[in-house]
Amino acid sequence: MPKVVIDIYLIGENCPAGIGNVIKVVYNLVLQFTVIEFMPTISIKLKNNSESVYFQSILGTYSHIAWARTDDPESGIIQVIPTEDLLEEARNILERLKKEIEFEEVGPGGERI
Same domain for 95 and 57? yes
| Residue 34: predicted pLDDT | 46
- Chain-centroid distance of CA 99 in Å reads 22
How do residues 7-65 score in pLDDT, each as one tens digit? 555 444 555 554 544 444 444 444 444 444 567 889 999 999 889 889 999 998 998 99
Answer whether 0.85 is exceeded by the pTM.
no
CATH code of residue 68: 3.30.70
Same domain for 77 and 51? yes
Same domain for 51 and 10? no
DSSP 5-38: -----PPPTTS-HHHHHHHHHHHHHHHHHHHHHH
Q: 111 in a domain, yes or no?
A: no
Pairing type for strands 77-82 and 42-46 reads antiparallel
Q: How many structural domains is the chain composed of?
A: 2
- Domain holding 78, by residue range, is 40-106
